[in-house]
Amino acid sequence: MTPMFIPGPVDVPPEVLAAQARPMLPHRSREFQAVFQRVEEKARKLFHPQQPVFLVTASGSGMQEAAMRNFIAQDVLCCANGAFSQRWFDIAVSNGKKAEMLAVEYGQVISPEMLADALKKNHYEAVAIVHNETSTGAENPLEELCAAARETSPDTLVLVDAVSSLGGVKIEMEAWGIDFLFTASQQCLALPPGLSLAAASERAMKKAETVANRGWYFDLLLMEKHRLKDSTPMTPAMALIFALDVQLDCILEEGLENRFARHAVMAGRVQKWAEEQDMPPLAPIGGRSKTVTSLINTRGFAVADLNKFLLARGMRVANGYGPLKEKNFRIAHMGETQLDDIEALLVTIEEFCS
């Protein structure tokens, strides 16, 4: 099967899909608790080092809301360089927080110097960052941004959306000083949508104890109370956890470093090809994603026409997102996609353009 090349939901391996058909269990039973514990322990390896992980029945946007409700009493700085980083700000405001934006143009990255300057001017309880902006194919320099925040404002929490990068790019949560890190199931992890994985630092959890009106569904203190008993406060997405159990075995068998290298090679191939075709990536050199590339549609074709051509061959790419629709198109190189799949796609796009 030739995969879709869209940035989520990505194709799911047949054995992972099949795992969802396991018989259901009582979610408070010892049998399910054993599965939950096994999955949570394996999931820790994704967060470098092995941070306790929440398995949450929600999309990645749910975890953005959880961060705003749990860690922010009032002030937050949202770094915005695309549609999903803009969502940090929108969710903060909708939850009554006093949010400010540190914004650059779509396709650009947030520099450590910009963040340090912003943190010198005002104090914030937290800074919210999207590591890999899915809408533009730009990868923010996360390690350097964390260092800038830590050096400039040591008590400011660092909240990171890694929905389209965790599992495809190495992120060292503790070493880099990330306080809340999350992803979603449908992108680099190559699972069906509907599950989030998140981890919080000890100081972030202590901050949550001081924040009123955290809500119930996304109350991380309540989640932690249940996690310690290998459970969740609410009925979990059991079928997705069964699938995650199988997929994590596959990921760990490949080896995380091998997986990261595969994603980087695919990204390099797509981006080199894009330059050769005079449809360059939107993001600048040094700030390009390893999991999704947004190409400038210099040829002016309708992306729907490209997809019609690709679909006849079992392939699909994504249109530009939001204001980039038709101006760009996106090729995802994440999950279980292989370099041979990428080569087949590029040849087919060349056929369409010829």
Span 226-244, pLDDT tens digits? 999 999 999 999 999 999 9
pLDDT band for position 49 (cuts 50, 70, 90): confident
Average pLDDT over residues 91-111: 98
DSSP codes of every residue in 96-125:
T-EEEEEE--TT----HHHHHHHHHHS--S
Judgement on whether residues 68 and 198 belong to the same structural domain of the protein: yes
Q: What is the 3-state secondary structure (H, E, C) of 54-85?
A: EEECCCHHHHHHHHHHHHCCCEEEEEECCHHH
Cα 188 from chain centroid (whole Å)? 8
Same domain, 95 and 140: yes
3-class secondary-structure state, position 331: strand
Is residue 1's pLDDT more than 60? no
User: Lowest-confidence range among 1-5, 261-265, 300-304, 308-312?
Assistant: 1-5
Contact criterion met (CB below 8 Å) for 164 and 194:
no
Please tell me the predicted confidence (pLDDT) of residue 2. Answer: 56
Whether 231 and 308 map to the same domain: the answer is no
pLDDT score, position 205: 97
Q: Give percent of the chain above pLDDT 70.
A: 99
Please tell me whether residues 143 and 275 are part of one structural domain: no
Rounded to an integer, the average pLDDT of 290-295 is 98
Cα 347 to Cα 350: distance, rounded to the nearest angstrom: 5
Give the chain's mean pLDDT.
97
Boundary (domain end) residue, out of 237, 252, 267: 252
pLDDT computed for residue 51 by the predictor: 80
| Strand ranges, E, within the chain | 54-56, 75-80, 98-103, 126-130, 132-133, 138-139, 157-161, 180-184, 196-200, 292-296, 318-319, 328-332
Mean pLDDT value of segment 220-230 = 96
Please answer whether residues 189 and 241 qualify as being in contact, where contact means their C-beta atoms are separated by less than 8 angstroms. no
Range of the domain at 194: 14-252
| 213 and 263 both lie in a single domain | no
Q: What would the pLDDT profile of 127-166 be if each residue is shown by its tens digit?
A: 999 999 999 999 999 999 999 999 999 999 999 999 999 9
Q: Which DSSP string corresponds to 161-192?
A: E-TTTBTTB---HHHHT-SEEEEETTSTT---
Examine the domain organization and report whether 259 and 233 are in the same domain.
Answer: no
